[in-house]
């Protein structure tokens, strides 16, 4: 191998290991999230994300083994399947974030409306206390 080919090969191997590590971390994190949100029905996108992360991790491990020469797959366009898995994985990540974003916005709207209701109650209570105080002051005169 020439010098530039060796560097390219080294960088490709480095990124292959990094992708496997990142995919494993995401699979672990999504699994942890699923175990803590068993009772929530809004967690459906995280189910998809977990399945997609496991499949992506599996594909990246196979890709790493092919790169290292540990296994050999004949007549399989690895670059094509890599792009397909990246596309599907990215789509599921986007789906999870969009749906969670909607849930977060809905939760903020609920919290804002609860705060507005609490503020109205506080204002009403203060107004009642002021009315009582002014009536007592008038009756005392």
Nearest CA to 86 out of 65, 64, 57 is that of 57
Q: What is the pLDDT of residues 76-128, one digit of tens each?
A: 777 788 788 888 888 887 877 777 766 666 665 555 556 666 666 766 777 77
Of 121 and 9, the structure prediction assigns the larger pLDDT to 9
Q: Average pLDDT of 49-66?
A: 85
Domain boundary assignment for the chain = 3-116
Mutual angle of helices 44-68 and 3-36, in 10-degree steps: 150
CA distances from 131 to 16, 124, 134, 137 (A): 73, 10, 5, 10
Instruction: Read off the pTM.
Output: 0.58
At residue 27 the predicted structure's pLDDT band, cuts being 50, 70 and 90, is confident
Q: What does the DSSP 8-state code read for residue 38?
A: T
User: Chain-wide mean pLDDT for the chain?
Assistant: 77
Alpha helix (H) ranges present in the chain? 3-36, 44-68, 78-140
Q: Average pLDDT of 55-65?
A: 85
């Amino acid at each position: 191998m020439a010098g530039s080919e060796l560097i390219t090969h080294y960088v490709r191997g480095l990124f292959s290991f990094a992708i496997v590590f990142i995919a494993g971390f995401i699979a672990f994190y999504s699994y942890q999230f699923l175990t803590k949100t068993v009772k929530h029905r809004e967690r459906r996108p995280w189910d998809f994300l977990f399945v997609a992360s496991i499949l992506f991790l599996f594909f990246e491990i196979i890709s790493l083994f092919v790169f290292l020469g540990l296994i050999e797959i004949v007549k399989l366009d690895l670059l094509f399947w890599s792009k397909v898995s990246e596309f599907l994985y990215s789509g599921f990540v986007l789906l999870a974030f969009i749906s969670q974003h909607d849930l977060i916005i809905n939760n903020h709207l609920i919290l804002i409306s609860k705060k507005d209701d609490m503020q109205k109650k506080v204002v009403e209570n203060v107004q009642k206390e002021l009315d009582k105080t002014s009536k007592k002051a008038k009756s005392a005169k």
